Structure 1
Amino acid sequence: MHWTSLATLAFVAPSNALIRFGCSQLVVDRLDPLVNPGMEPSPHLHQIIGGNSFNTSMYKEDHDLAKLSTCTSCQPSEDFSNYWTASLFFRARNGTYKRVPQKGNVGFEGQRGGMTVYYMQASLGDYQQKAKVKAFQPGFRMLIGSPTASTKPEADRYPQLTYTCLQDMNTRYPETKDFPSKPCPAGIMVNLRFPTCWNGVDLDSPDHISHMSYPANGTFESQGPCPASHPVRVAQVMYEVIFETKAFNKKTDWPAEGSQPFVWSFGDTTGFGNHGDYVFGWKDDSLQNILDEECYVQCKTMKTQSIEEMNKCSVSRKVNENVGDDDWIEAIPGQKTPMAQE
């Protein structure tokens, strides 16, 4: 998919397509309250952003993120949602690992790690805002992708989970379903776009996916209709996670036989297991008010905080282990044995 750059769109015409904001890192920890509620540690490491009420028991119905959080690592000061993905590691030729850090996107260079979040009201080219979307409701949660996917057909079940090999910070295409096969000068951007049709009833489902659906035909960008089983059109949530690979871009550090050296924290070396989690936590009707405003990136109804304030919001790691930030480690946290080397 070829996406026109946001910087270009901003000067083309007044647009009513989306909101875009940065979120600093809240914590990097081996917790997953959506898939593994109450489990400490969970099977693999995640990087989490958003409200500081994030914990292993937040799956409970009475866990109101907006009321229980006292700060958020996201730019909108009324967004206490939590967003997370797996962490990424670099595998050295000697079989040791180091966690690949994240960095802020264009316009958010001062944020501490984290990622960029979008809520799309319509496609990037829909300047007339022909379609309306409904905000998520308190208690809503979902995930997309599968950590067990190891082939392209399996990954293709989730058509909008991709990678971009950044030549510079404005690169947005081409996108691939697997990890880049060569060093990326400005980093690897992981793109996650969630389904946009809701069944209108369930805030969650046993697999955290089936209460949501892709359009019956076409795509969200082409304004394809929602299926009858999932008739409510919601905003498209999108993550852009930029992993800073500059310390790992020497080709002489890559495997001698030519394979790529990056590994997801759950052990995937293909990239096909790309997945992400989302738990809604906007205060009151703040998100719906923003979506109804028909605004672009910066909205009058969106209360914001400074990057300095975003960077101050964090929580302590619950699982005490070496995650490879400073030292090379023998195994990825949660992986019982070091991965076999070529």
Structure 2
Amino acid sequence: MMKWLSVALALAAPSHAYIRFGCATLSVQRLDPVVEPGNIPSAHLHQIVGGNAFNATMSGDIGNKATCTTCSFSEDLSNYWTAVMYFKHRNGSYKRVPQYPNALLGTLTGGMTIYYLQDDFSSNGNTKITAFKPGFRMTVGSPTTTSGSNPGLRYTCLQDIMTRGSETNDFPKTACPAGIMAIHHFPACWDGKNLDSPNHQDHMYNTVKGMFQNAGACPSTHPVRMPQLAYETMWNTSQFNDKSMWPTDGSQPFVWSFDDSKGYGTHGDYMFGWKGDALQRAMDSTSLTSNNLKTQSVAEANKCAIKNTVSEPIDGWLEKLPGGM
């Protein structure tokens, strides 16, 4: 196992209770094969990591369709994506906030940190964890949400790259020295039958308590315990900390790419694409460092990419958000 990955795993999981790894940015464009399949472009901009099978329409076993992945585990050809963060200048123009990798994940290009927990940070638990199945997909959160009631959807104002805790359900209201971390915890209770549902959420049940605490017990309607999936995205807002660019009333200046300035509408999408039984082997393992998952170098992860299906300005100072949101 490569040094950068083994260091990250050792520091992150002293009890070997989960897998944690980085995925570099695969693409930033307006596509959403879960919520808006076939739409080119989708309504708002997303940042996507994972396998190179990502497209406007995706079906079947994604793990057999992708040929490379931006993730450190080469058998993980899944796709993970969220909205994109922008800074809104007091003059009304927008600029995309760059992403940067977690300190433990080497020199990955942007991207996210991905977690698959068996129980929590201190125990593997005693419940069988059933891996997701080919064709499985789900979302958490919604761009239309107007309250921060889901404890799994949170923000951390980073004082430095290692800051953790002090989570809020909306965008931090003060300038954050090392940026803003957006956190997405997905539900982990499955109905045992459906790989998807009309709203991409009803086949799952959310017992998340946030802050990587033990999730609650699964109900009889959704009895199958699946891995607790979580994303962490590090947004480097430091270049925008000059208060002369902030709104004149001093309010926080960041928005999601669907034009949400509160942050309550943060959401994430997931499409399973692990090869074969790789994820199930990892979830059955009691030792994180002996789960036999195949790894690749940072250079290999960074090299995996796709051509954009949607061509439009997303960088530099923009008069409006991509898609006119």
TM class, shorter-chain normalised?
A: over 0.9
Distance 2:165 2:186 in 1: 19
Please say if 1:307 is aligned against 2:263: no
8 Å CA contact 1:216, 1:224 repeated in 2: yes
The one-letter code of the counterpart of 2:303 is K
- Among 92, 116, 120, the residue aligned to 1:119: 116
- Among 142, 154, 165, the residue aligned to 2:138: 142
Aligned equivalent of 1:179: 171
Aligned equivalent of 2:34: 34
Please say if 1:256 is aligned against 2:252: no
Please say if 1:52 is aligned against 2:52: yes
Distance 1:279 1:30 in 2: 17
8 Å CA contact 2:121, 2:212 repeated in 1: no
Equivalent residue of 1:90, what SS?
strand
Matches within 5 A, 1:144-159: 144-150=140-146, 152=147, 155-156=148-149, 158-159=150-151
After TM superposition, give the deviation of residue 35 of structure 1 in Å: 0.4
Distance 1:206 1:8 in 2: 37
Please say if 1:331 is aligned against 2:320: yes
8 Å CA contact 1:197, 1:233 repeated in 2: yes
Equivalent residue of 1:288, what SS?
helix
After the TM superposition, which segments of 4 or more aligned residues of structure 1 sit over 4 Å from their partners?
A: 7-14, 216-220
Aligned equivalent of 1:84: 81
After TM superposition, give the deviation of residue 217 of structure 1 in Å: 9.4
Aligned equivalent of 1:339: none
8 Å CA contact 2:151, 2:210 repeated in 1: no
8 Å CA contact 1:196, 1:220 repeated in 2: no
Equivalent residue of 1:290, what SS?
helix
Matches within 5 A, 1:212-223: 212-215=204-207, 221-223=213-215
* Percent of matched pairs sharing the same residue: 52
8 Å CA contact 1:191, 1:240 repeated in 2: yes
Q: TM-score, normalised by structure 2?
A: 0.93
Give per-residue Cα distances to partners, 1:29-49, cap 9 Å, x unaligned: 000010000000000000000
Distance 1:215 1:304 in 2: 31
Matches within 5 A, 1:217-232: 221-232=213-224
Aligned equivalent of 2:96: 99
Equivalent residue of 1:19, what SS?
strand
The one-letter code of the counterpart of 1:273 is G
Equivalent residue of 1:228, what SS?
coil
> Structure 1: 5+ residue runs without aligned partners?
1-6, 337-342
8 Å CA contact 1:18, 1:118 repeated in 2: yes
The one-letter code of the counterpart of 2:179 is G
After TM superposition, give the deviation of residue 26 of structure 1 in Å: 0.3
Equivalent residue of 2:299, what SS?
helix
Please say if 1:244 is aligned against 2:236: yes
Distance 1:320 1:233 in 2: 40
Equivalent residue of 2:159, what SS?
coil
Equivalent residue of 2:259, what SS?
coil
Aligned equivalent of 2:186: 194
Aligned equivalent of 1:340: none
After TM superposition, give the deviation of residue 147 of structure 1 in Å: 0.2
After TM superposition, give the deviation of residue 84 of structure 1 in Å: 0.1
Give per-residue Cα distances to partners, 1:45-96, cap 9 Å, x unaligned: 00000000100110x3x3x211111100000000000000001100111111
Give per-residue Cα distances to partners, 1:214-234, cap 9 Å, x unaligned: 239999833521000000001
